Structure 1
Amino acid sequence: MKPHAEVEQVWPRDGRIKVVGRLHGLPGGVGDGWRLQLTRRSRTDHVLRYDAELDGDRFACAWPVSDLAAYDGFDRSDQWDLHLTDGGLRLRVGRRLDDIRGKKAVFVYPRQPVPGAGFGVRPYFTVEDNLSLSLSLTPGGRA
C-alpha cells in the first residue's frame, strides 16, 4: 500500500474542520515541517496550507472553513482535495486501513455554512476513500 495520511477522526464544527490521524507507510520515519495542503480540483493554482501538529507518526490539523471564501467563483459545487506534505513528500489524506466499504455513504459529516459567503463546506470521503471537501451554495447564495 502506498504511503498516505490515514484519517482516524474528522471534526467539523464551530466553523472549523479538524483532522486527526497517522502517517502510514513512510520508509525511514517521519521528519518535521509537515503541512496540510488543500487544493481546489477545478483550479489547482488555488491552494491553502496549514501547519500540521506531529507527535511521532500522529498528525492533527485544523482550519477555518471561512478561508475557502477567498477563492470564490464556483458554479453549483466545488471540491478541494487534502494532502499532507513536508515539502518533498505529498501524501493523500484518506482512510484505507479499515474494513468499511463505501465510506462516502457511511461517513456523512455536517455541512458548515460560511457566514456571508453564500456557501457551505462539508468533508466527505471519495469513492477511493480519500478525504475531500465539498462546497455547495446555500439557498439564496451567490455563485
Structure 2
Amino acid sequence: MKPRAEVEEVWPRDGRIGIVGRLVGMTGPGAGAGGAWRLTVTRRSRASQVLRYDVQLDGERFNCAWYVADLAAYDDGFSGADQWDLHLTDGRRTLRVGRRLDDIRGKKAIYVYPRQAVPGARFDVRPYFTVEDNLSLECRA
C-alpha cells in the first residue's frame, strides 16, 4: 500500500477546519515518528502560495486544525472558485490527505461540508473530497 495520510474526521466549524486521521502504509524504523510533521495547504492555481501548520502526532494518529481567516491573505480578487490541496510532510516524505480505506467511492457527491465565511475576504471556504477521494479546500466568491 502506498503511504498516505488517511483522514477519518473533518471538522469545519467556528471559523476553523480540523482534521483527524492516521498515517497508513508507513513501514520501517521510525515510520511515523522522527521529525515533526506539518500540514501544507497549497493553492492549486498558484503553487507558490502555501500555508503550513504543525501536526500533532501520537503514534500513527494525527490531528491538525487551522483558522479559515488565514486564507484572507490570498484574497486577490479571483472570481469563481479556487482549490487548495492538503498534504502532510515531515521534510522527507509528502503524503496526500484523503480517505480511501472506508471503501466508499465518489465521496465528492456524498460528503458535503458547510461553507464558512473567511473574515476580511470576499469568499468563503469549505472542505471537499476530490474525484480521487483526496481532501481539498474550495474557496468560492
- Looking at structure 1, the residues matched to 48 and 99 of structure 2 have their Cα atoms a distance apart, in angstroms, of 26
- Looking at structure 1, the residues matched to 132 and 13 of structure 2 have their Cα atoms a distance apart, in angstroms, of 25
Structure 1: runs of 5+ lacking an equivalent: 138-143
TM-score under structure 2 length normalisation: 0.94
* Maintained 8 Å contact 2:72/2:119: no
- Looking at structure 2, the residues matched to 41 and 27 of structure 1 have their Cα atoms a distance apart, in angstroms, of 30
- Secondary structure, counterpart of 1:69 in structure 2: helix
* Maintained 8 Å contact 2:10/2:17: yes
Q: Indicate which of 61, 66, 69 corresponds to 1:66.
A: 69
Aligned to 1:45: 48
Aligned to 1:7: 7
Q: CA deviation at 1:114?
A: 1.0
TM-score under structure 1 length normalisation: 0.93
Aligned to 2:132: 128
- Looking at structure 2, the residues matched to 106 and 83 of structure 1 have their Cα atoms a distance apart, in angstroms, of 22
Q: Which runs of 4+ in 1 moved over 6 A?
A: none
Number of aligned positions between the proteins: 137
Aligned ranges for residues 1-143 of structure 1 at < 5 Å?
A: 1-28=1-28, 29-31=31-33, 32-73=35-76, 74-137=78-141
Deviation readout 1:7-66 (Å, 9 max, x if unpaired): 100000000000000001012221230000000000000000000000000000000001
Query: What residue identity is the alignment partner of 1:77?
Result: A
CA RMSD, Structure 1 to Structure 2 (Å): 0.8
* Maintained 8 Å contact 2:75/2:122: no
